[in-house]
Structure 1
Amino acid sequence: VDNLKGEVCGAPCGYLLVHPDLPNPLNLLFLKLSPYFPVDYILMVMIVLYMFWATTKGIISIGIRFLWVNLYKFRRAATAPQGLLAATMLLMLSLAGLCYSLTMAVAPDYSMFGSQKYCNHTIALTNERDCHDYPTLIVPCHIGAPSDLCTPTVTSGYILGIILATPVLGIAFYYLQWLFLLAFLFALIWNLVRGFIKGFGVDPFEESAEDIDDLETRGLLSAIGAMSADSGRRRVGKERSVDPRRWLFLWLDRDQWAKVICRQ
């Protein structure tokens, strides 16, 4: 909502928010904790790990799908290699989306400028900034702050450059946020109703009838392979073992062996 009334040029700029009016709790929390290093870093790492864990949990729960077509499922000791490769690619793409979300949505001011502040008071006669008598006008840097006083991070600079060069990405991200909120509310209501009817705590690794047949087939094949390997090891062991009677025969016939060695 804040992007609609706080933006500069709307869709042509990718809905960049310059002067936010609505408070962002996480952004304010990071700005308050920024002087107390490394508390802000620890909190950022916790948020990143939580988002990464949630993404991984979602991929494991629903599997690899294309729309409603289920391509690969994740099962204990029975996941297809193609499914693992596809999940790895999705996690790598999610890291790119996570970087964009942290910079533009979760904590934009902190991600762009950290703990930087600037004086927002200018003397009319000298056109110089002086906040000696106005300490409340020393405010944190934001995207609309003067570029000569606030230096953005390298990551935010790349992201802002991409959005300004291709505004369609910012527009898509903005409307996908609304779509995500609607899907989240729908999924929340659906799972609550379904949970009250069928019960909560469903294991995502719970096997269906098809999965059980596949696991039984895999179990039989592995059992046959194990039996073959065990019989092969026993056969090799028998071939390598030496009968004690043979050793006795060789000891008794040592004179014959000595003659053979002398001839050679």
Structure 2
Amino acid sequence: MAAQIPLIWITALVVLALLIIGALVFVKIYQARSEKDAFVTVVCVLALTSLLATVCLCPVDIALVSSTTNNHTGLKKHWAHPDTVANILYSLKIVYYCLYSLDAVMCLLVIPFTYFWYEEWDVETTRKQRLIGALKYSIFFVLLMVLLLLAGMFAPVARQMKGHLDLDYFKKLMMENNGERALTFIVGLLLCVGTVLFVLYTAPGLALTPMVLIKSIPSISVTSATAATNDALAINRERQRVLEAQYQGRGERPSSKDRRELEALQREERTLVRRQRVAEELRASRTTTFYSKLEAIGRPFKILFGVIILVISILIFVSMLVTAIDKVQNSVCGKHCGYILPNTNLFNPMNWLFVETSKFFPVDYILALLVVLLFFVATVVGVAFVGIRFLWVSLFQLRPGSTKPQGMLMSTVMLTLTVLAINYAFTMILAPQYAHYGGQKFCDHTVSAQLASSGYLRSCSSHPELIRECNAQAPQDICTPTVVSTFINRITMNFPLFGAFAFWAQFGFLGLFAVSTATALMWTPRLGGRAAEEVEAEEEEGLLGSTGRRTRAAWEDLTGRAAARENRQSRTYGTSDASDV
């Protein structure tokens, strides 16, 4: 066996170790510091590791099947015997089924039990009482799991496809045993639920992620904000002093006009004092000038990174739209098989990029891994901005350092379900040809035989024009489909309703992404669901504004030019402000 196979698995194990660390960091950052629970933390870390491993297994799957074919000759490599390839696919299949089963058990059993376990906590409650209470409320989910298993085993599957679908690859996708049928049914049902979350959270998250980076620079530096606040506060108090001095010793009540003006000045003073306190806290958080300047130096790179993500997001949008249109126009069986497409007919930029970079392994592997992780990060951003809601009712907010344990558990369930939709979107919509066959190519023996019969002896090794990219119409003994594409195609063909729903939901994803991007270009994104006083304080601080003001703020933080002005203001007003505050 080629050395590339062990290298891919070793890389996957390294990535898995990093994912475990990432899950720990994610839970550490977002969980509320005052409401920690060890059991909730462990469950969240395990569930996040499982879902991240599921979403990152797809690039491993593609890399493994791609390594079995020699793209220069269009034939299998000398070590890629049918038994060897079958063992590789079998190993991947076991890993996939274990991860999908673990995700389903986490969503339907473990996390609900953990939720009720935490809810049963009380000062006078024992562990036994908490356990009994959590089990009592978890019975519904146990029954639900049993019903889904029974429904999956006995649910009728499509036996005949309407349309000209006579390819051997698709005929092999029909169910053969009840156990696999049950798992496929449950995953297909969870896929539909995850697709709804994918549309509602990943689409706006993908649009807002680059905007958060691009527009995250404050419109005014901290030192300038402090100096401006000191100026405004001194002027405000001087105006109040003048108004009050007009009526001192005269025994007259202030006129209604002066009284309204004085009340307005007092409200403004409270606002300025709060702004001053926030600015001082921001200054205190910057332990040294070095870190402040280092942050200012990094701001242009942060903007550049945001622009790169924006370009990638637009490419993702275009690629998904092209494939969706291609499936509507050219699918051989339409809704009866989930709009399966034997081969692509329209140019897909992301698919082309993956296929071209597959010539330089592991570039395509890294790119595929980054894209699926971008989808995951976009989902997290979407949950943080939109919040955990039921219709218009906000239940929990995903915020750093202040997410309640119940919110962490519900966020984990949402992310787990969305991962299934991410796998579907990447495999079936974003880069279908690459996700099905990777960089595999085959020798078109039909064309070669026709040329040979005409007196032109051609060999694929010496004539690369005879090399074709693998698709469903290619010889299946040479072109090996990925396990994830086979599993998803099995869902859409045996349960066409799931496939049709997941496909048409992609148009909702594209529409919401377009609206969110257009809105974010004109409106500065802010975390949703925060307390009203936090939003008001941020608006008063004026930390977000035009690009020109952001640039000046970055330059002032870098050069420290505003510090001198602040020192002059503090010498002028420092004594009176301190006594007033």
The TM-score with structure 1 as length reference comes to 0.69
1:108 equivalent in structure 2: 432
| Contact 1:74–1:205 under 8 Å retained in 2 | no
Deviation of residue 73 (structure 1)? 1.6
CA spacing shift, 1:76–1:119, aligned 2, 3 Å: closer
- SS for the counterpart of 2:350 is helix
2:513 equivalent in structure 1: 184
Of the candidates 336, 345, 349, which is equivalent to residue 21 of structure 1? Answer: 345
Aligned partners of 2:399, 2:333: CA distance in 1, in Å? 49
1:77 equivalent in structure 2: 401
1:219 equivalent in structure 2: none
CA spacing shift, 1:19–1:111, aligned 2, 3 Å: closer
2:289 equivalent in structure 1: none
Matched to 1:32, the amino acid is E
| Contact 2:492–2:500 under 8 Å retained in 1 | no
Of the candidates 499, 504, 527, which is equivalent to residue 175 of structure 1? Answer: 504
1:120 equivalent in structure 2: 444
In the alignment, structure 1 residue 161 sits paired with structure 2 residue 490: yes
Deviation of residue 107 (structure 1)? 1.6
1:68 equivalent in structure 2: 392
Deviation of residue 191 (structure 1)? 4.1
In the TM superposition, structure 1's runs of 4+ consecutive aligned residues that sit over 6 Å from their partners are none
- SS for the counterpart of 1:34 is helix
RMSD: 2.6
Q: Structure 1: which 5+ residue stretches go unaligned? A: 213-264
Aligned partners of 2:530, 2:406: CA distance in 1, in Å? 20
CA spacing shift, 1:5–1:201, aligned 2, 3 Å: closer
Deviation of residue 19 (structure 1)? 2.6
Percent of aligned positions with the same letter in both sequences?
40
Matched to 1:34, the amino acid is S
- SS for the counterpart of 1:74 is coil
2:363 equivalent in structure 1: 39
More displaced, 30-39 or 135-144?
135-144
In the alignment, structure 1 residue 88 sits paired with structure 2 residue 412: yes
Matched to 1:54, the amino acid is A
Deviation of residue 186 (structure 1)? 2.8
- SS for the counterpart of 1:35 is helix
Deviation of residue 97 (structure 1)? 1.3
Matched to 1:150, the amino acid is C
Cα displacement string for residues 86-136 of structure 1 (whole angstroms, at most 9, x for unaligned residues): 00011111211111111111221222112211122412599xx96467531
Query: What is the aligned residue count?
Result: 205
- SS for the counterpart of 1:118 is strand
| Contact 1:27–1:110 under 8 Å retained in 2 | yes
CA spacing shift, 1:88–1:191, aligned 2, 3 Å: same
**Higher helix proportion, which one?**
2
Cα displacement string for residues 4-33 of structure 1 (whole angstroms, at most 9, x for unaligned residues): 222111111210111321111111111111
- SS for the counterpart of 2:428 is helix
Q: From the CA coordinates, give the structure whose radius of gyration is larger.
A: 1
| Contact 2:343–2:433 under 8 Å retained in 1 | no
Bigger RCO (CA 8 Å, 6+ sep): 2
| Contact 1:73–1:83 under 8 Å retained in 2 | yes
